[in-house]
C-alpha cells in the first residue's frame, strides 16, 4: 500500500528552516522580514485564514502588519493601502486575502501589488512569468508550490514523467500544471468539461487533484504506483464527529492508498504546506531585497 506523504511533518520542517534563516538574517544584518495582510469585509473563513497566517508569522519571527477594511470599502482605499506597503521598506511581502467583495475588481487590486512583494504570486506578471519558458516569477502561489515541495521532499521523480492536474483554477490547478511543466513533466489538465477523465488520469505517474468534489478520484482512476497529491478540502456529514462533519479530499483515500505508490492524506497533507510556503516566500523576499545570501 501507498507511502503516506506527511505534509504536517514537512511543513513543520520548513517552518523550522525558515525560523533559523530569519534568526541568521536578523543577527547578521539586523533585518526582520515583514508581511502585510489586507482583509476586506468580515467573512469568518477569511478572518480565520488571516489569524492563522499571523500566528505562523509570530512563530518564525516575521513581523506582521494587518489592515482590516469594511465590506463597503472602495477599491481606491484598498489600493492606497497597497501603495503604502509597496513603499514601506519594513514590509517584504504583501497579500490581499481573497475573495474580495463583489464590487471590487480582483485584477485592479492584484495589479497594484509590487511584483517584488507579491508573496501570494497572484500578480498577473508573476503568473505570466510562471507560464514563460526561460523566465521565472518572483513568487509562485503558495498551495501549488507546497504540492511541488511535497513531491520533491518525498523523492518523487518529475522529469520526463506524465502528470495530470485535475482542476484549472487560477490559484491552484493552473499554476500547479505550469510548475510541473517547468519541472519537465508532460502535463495534462482535466477539468469540469473533460470527457472520461479516468482514462487520462490512469496514464499519470503524478496526479495533483484540486477540484473541491469529495472522493471524486477513485482507485480505478489511478495507475499502480502513482504519486497522488490531494489538494481538496471538502466537508462531509459525519454524525460520529463532534462537529457533525469531517474533512475529506478530492481523492477517495481508502481506495487510492491501495493502488498508489505515495499519497497525501486530508487533513495533514497539502493543507499545512500553504502557510509554510507563505513564510518561505516572505523570507525569500526579504533576502532578495536586502541581497542577503
Q: Could you list the residues that contact ligand NAD (CB under 6 A)?
A: 143, 166-169, 171-173, 190-192, 194, 197, 210-213, 216, 231-234, 270-271, 274
Shorter beta-carbon distance to ligand NAD: residue 179 or 270: 270
Concerning whether 181 is annotated as a catalytic residue, the answer is no
Residue 33 or 167 having the CB closest to ligand NAD: 167
Nearest by Cα to 283 from 109, 78, 57, 40: 57
Based on CB atoms, which residue is closest to ligand NAD, 105 or 192? 192
Decide if 58 is catalytic: no
What is the number of alpha carbons within 13 Å of residue 211 lying toward its C-beta?
25
Catalytic residue selected from 53, 145, 161, 182: 53
User: Which residue, 56 or 166, is less far from ligand NAD as judged by CB?
Assistant: 166
**Burial class for 10, CB neighbours closer than 10 Å (0-12, 13-18, 19+):** buried
Least distance between ligand NAD and beta carbon 216 (Å): 6
Beta strands in the chain (DSSP E): 3-4, 34-40, 63-69, 93-96, 162-166, 186-190, 206-209, 227-230, 234-237, 245-248, 262-263
- Residue 10 CB, shortest distance to ligand NAD, in Å, is 13
Identify which of 113, 121, 111, 214 has the alpha carbon closest to the alpha carbon of residue 171.
121
Q: Which of 6, 117, 118, 120 is catalytic?
A: 120
Mark whether 13 is an active-site residue.
no
Using alpha carbons, list the distances in angstroms from residue 284 to 51, 110, 140, 292. Answer: 22, 20, 11, 9
Enzyme catalytic residues: 53, 97, 120
Amino acid at each position: 500500500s501507498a507511502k503516506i506523504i506527511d505534509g504536517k511533518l514537512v511543513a513543520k520542517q520548513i517552518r523550522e528552516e525558515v525560523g533559523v534563516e530569519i534568526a541568521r538574517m536578523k543577527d547578521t544584518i539586523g533585518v526582520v522580514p515583514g508581511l502585510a495582510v489586507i482583509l476586506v469585509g468580515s467573512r469568518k473563513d477569511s478572518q480565520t485564514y488571516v489569524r492563522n497566517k499571523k500566528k505562523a508569522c509570530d512563530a518564525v519571527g516575521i513581523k506582521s502588519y494587518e489592515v482590516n477594511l469594511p465590506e463597503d470599502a472602495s477599491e481606491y482605499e484598498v489600493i492606497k493601502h497597497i501603495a503604502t506597503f509597496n513603499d514601506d521598506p519594513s514590509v517584504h511581502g504583501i497579500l490581499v486575502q481573497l475573495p474580495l467583495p463583489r464590487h471590487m475588481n480582483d485584477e485592479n487590486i492584484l495589479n497594484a501589488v509590487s511584483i517584488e512583494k507579491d508573496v501570494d504570486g497572484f500578480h498577473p506578471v508573476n503568473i505570466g512569468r510562471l507560464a514563460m519558458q526561460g523566465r521565472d516569477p518572483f513568487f509562485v502561489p503558495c498551495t501549488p508550490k507546497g504540492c511541488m515541495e511535497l513531491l520533491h521532499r518525498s523523492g518523487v521523480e518529475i522529469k520526463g514523467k506524465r502528470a495530470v492536474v485535475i482542476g484549472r483554477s487560477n490559484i491552484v490547478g493552473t499554476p500547479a500544471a505550469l510548475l510541473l511543466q517547468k519541472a519537465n513533466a508532460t502535463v495534462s489538465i482535466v477539468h469540469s468539461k473533460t470527457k472520461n477523465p479516468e482514462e487520462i488520469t490512469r496514464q499519470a505517474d503524478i496526479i495533483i487533484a484540486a477540484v473541491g468534489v469529495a472522493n471524486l478520484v477513485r482507485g480505478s482512476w489511478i495507475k499502480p504506483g502513482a504519486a497522488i497529491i490531494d489538494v481538496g478540502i471538502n466537508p462531509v456529514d459525519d454524525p460520529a464527529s463532534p462537529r457533525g462533519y469531517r474533512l475529506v479530499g478530492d481523492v477517495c483515500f481508502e481506495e487510492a492508498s491501495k493502488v498508489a505508490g505515495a499519497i497525501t492524506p486530508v487533513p495533514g497533507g497539502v493543507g499545512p504546506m500553504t502557510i509554510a510556503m507563505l513564510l518561505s516566500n516572505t523570507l525569500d523576499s526579504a533576502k532578495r531585497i536586502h541581497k542577503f545570501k
